[in-house]
């Protein structure tokens, strides 16, 4: 018995998006060809264009789907945590967890940074701003609780995202440097898992954010 048309359509779209995510993250927007997406996914070009109109719209769907899933997970983890410090830890833990589970998110965003964001539509930027606003709320809560001093949410976001993304995407270079013993591994943790590196970054960030309480 054949699947209903709606189910077949959803399955086709899922195949297209998953394959497109792989190829866009590997080759970037400019290097990706719809012909290859069709070949690898087993979906003909006509069907791809039927569902997504053109390559730009397909790229937009890929980024929004990834970033929306990512932002929703962060919001849920932060909401479940208590206090500003707990929420900041939850934000970073969830961020690195998502990046480890699907490094394509970091790779795609770094492609966009490298290209000056020339292919990033406003709807995708809205998802990024959603994360910045979430972090801004955490930092604002810390100020109200008296545990954080005033800070710049955007710069703090760049510190977190930049560090985690660069560490994950740069894994091959880290392993190369470690294998050639260019730097003492024990000092810079070239081969440590991202979660461990993120934990160290979290403590460094918290030390810079915490308000010093004068002794009574």
34: in domain? yes
Q: Do residue 47 and residue 77 come from a single domain?
A: no
Domain count, the chain: 2
Q: Do residue 27 and residue 117 come from a single domain?
A: no
Range of the domain at 96: 63-209
Count of Cβ atoms closer than 10 Å to residue 171 Cβ: 13
- Distances from the Cα of 89 to the Cαs of 10, 98, 154, in angstroms? 36, 14, 17
pLDDT in tens, 146-196: 999 999 999 999 999 999 998 888 888 877 777 777 666 555 566 778 888
User: Where on the phi/psi map is residue 117: left (φ > 0), alpha (ψ -120 to 50), or beta?
Assistant: left
* Torsion over CA: 144, 145, 151, 155 (sign): negative
Mean pLDDT of 50-68: 93
pLDDT in tens, 28-57: 999 999 999 999 999 999 999 999 999 999
Q: How far apart are CA 154 and CA 62, in angstroms?
A: 24
pLDDT for 213: 63
Q: Do residue 90 and residue 149 come from a single domain?
A: yes
For the record, the structure tokens of 206 come out as 């918290």
14: in domain? yes
Give the CA-trace dihedral at 72, 74, 75, 78, to 10 degrees.
160
């Amino acid at each position: 018995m054949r699947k209903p048309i709606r189910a077949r359509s959803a399955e086709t779209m899922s195949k297209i998006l998953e394959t497109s995510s792989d190829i866009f993250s590997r080759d970037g927007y400019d290097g990706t060809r719809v012909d290859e997406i069709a070949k690898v996914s087993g979906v003909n070009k006509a069907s791809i264009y039927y569902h997504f109109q053109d390559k730009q719209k397909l790229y937009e769907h890929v980024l929004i789907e990834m970033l929306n899933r990512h932002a929703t997970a962060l919001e849920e983890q932060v909401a479940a945590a208590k206090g500003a410090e707990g929420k900041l830890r939850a934000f970073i833990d969830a961020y690195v967890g998502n990046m480890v589970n699907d490094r394509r998110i970091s790779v795609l965003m770094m492609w966009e940074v490298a290209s000056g964001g020339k292919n990033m539509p406003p709807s995708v930027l809205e998802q990024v701003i959603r994360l910045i606003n979430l972090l801004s709320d955490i930092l604002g809560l810390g100020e109200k609780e008296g545990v954080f001093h005033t800070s710049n949410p955007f710069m703090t976001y760049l510190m977190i995202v930049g560090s985690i993304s660069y560490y994950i995407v740069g894994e091959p270079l880290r392993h190369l440097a470690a294998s050639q013993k260019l730097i003492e591994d024990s000092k810079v943790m070239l081969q440590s898992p991202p979660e461990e590196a993120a934990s160290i970054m979290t403590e460094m960030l918290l030390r810079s954010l915490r308000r010093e309480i004068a002794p009574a």
